[in-house]
């Protein structure tokens, strides 16, 4: 069994910053301070890591920020849900994402889910907003609401797949598809293969240098996506 673990932001979708506004508003609402400063380099980090960074950068002491964090993570889901229309209007599915998911759905022995820094409700909302959820089994995924550590999330996806499909854990091979060197680092730590897609902040060379087992400019050529993820070409006709 091959489990394909897709990253969401800048791999499958572009949220056009609507999610970042939800981070700031959630941190402001729960801390009672007006917080406007986003951290740099959020790509590939999980929401608990990012939100803790936002709180401490606003001058909140780490123990207090950590105490706020569970409520902030809940609050960001409420806020993003209230901005769903704005997300759908401003954001987009990245080119080829829908076709790649649909094509892999027909491949025997392949399951698809997400490993993402988003809390689960926001992951579901983002995918549904762009009609990308139909070929993903989201119950198998790993989310920022599960752990701040991305490699742990990959292990959780493996565990959840083993339980749901009654498969020995060592029989589940994983390919992580993501736009950030952090996706690739996490895959290596979780003993998974990785495919880097240069639709985020990192170039194809940076993703290759990070150790991506395969790298793609984007998802537009389904044959190339197949070759990268499965290590072989799409059978035609
Ligand atoms: Mg990403």
> SS3 letters for 188-199?
HHCCCEEEEECC
Spelled out in words, what is the top-level CATH class assigned to the domain 2-14+93-230?
alpha beta
Q: Which pTM does this prediction carry?
A: 0.96
Predicted pLDDT of residue 237 = 45
Between the CA of 195 and the centroid of ligand 1 the distance, in Å, is: 12
For 60-113, the pLDDT digits (tens) are 999 999 999 999 999 999 999 999 999 999 999 999 999 999 999 999 999 999
Between the CA of 184 and the centroid of ligand 1 the distance, in Å, is: 11
For 183-215, the pLDDT digits (tens) are 999 999 999 999 999 999 999 999 999 999 999
Question: Looking at the predicted structure, is the pLDDT value of residue 50 above 90?
Answer: yes
Domain 18-88, CATH number (from 1.10.150, 1.10.1660, 1.10.3470, 1.10.260): 1.10.150
Domain boundaries in the chain? 2-14+93-230, 18-88
How large is the average pLDDT for residues 4-10? 98
Between the CA of 179 and the centroid of ligand 1 the distance, in Å, is: 5
CA distances (Å), origin 35, targets 23, 47, 86, 144, 212 = 10, 16, 21, 21, 36
Between the CA of 102 and the centroid of ligand 1 the distance, in Å, is: 20
Sheet of 214-216, strands arranged across: 110-114, 2-6, 173-178, 193-197, 214-216
Between the CA of 132 and the centroid of ligand 1 the distance, in Å, is: 15
Question: Looking at the predicted structure, is the pLDDT value of residue 57 above 60?
Answer: yes
- Asked, colleague to colleague, whether 2-14+93-230 and 18-88 share their fold, the answer is no
């Amino acid at each position: 069994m091959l489990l394909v673990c897709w990253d969401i932001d800048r791999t499958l979708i572009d949220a056009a910053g609507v999610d970042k506004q939800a981070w700031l508003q959630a941190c402001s609402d729960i801390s009672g301070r007006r917080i406007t400063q986003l951290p740099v380099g959020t790509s590939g980090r999980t929401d608990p890591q990012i939100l803790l960074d936002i709180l401490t950068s606003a001058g909140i002491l780490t123990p207090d920020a950590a105490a706020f964090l569970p409520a902030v993570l809940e609050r960001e889901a409420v806020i993003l849900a209230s901005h769903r229309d704005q997300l759908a209007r401003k954001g987009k599915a990245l080119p080829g994402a829908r076709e790649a998911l649909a094509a892999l759905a027909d491949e025997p022995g392949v399951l698809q889910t997400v490993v993402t820094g988003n809390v689960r409700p926001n992951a579901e909302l983002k995918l549904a907003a762009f009609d990308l959820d139909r070929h993903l089994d989201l119950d198998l995924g790993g989310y920022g609401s599960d752990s701040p550590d991305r490699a742990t999330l990959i292990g959780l996806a493996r565990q959840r797949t083993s339980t749901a499909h009654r498969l020995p854990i060592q029989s589940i091979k994983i390919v992580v598809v993501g736009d950030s060197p952090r996706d690739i680092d996490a895959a290596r730590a979780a003993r998974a293969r990785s495919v880097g897609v240069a639709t985020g902040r990192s170039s194809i060379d940076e993703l290759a240098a990070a150790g991506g087992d395969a790298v793609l400019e984007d998802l537009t050529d389904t044959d190339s996506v197949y070759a990268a993820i499965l290590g072989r070409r799409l059978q035609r006709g």
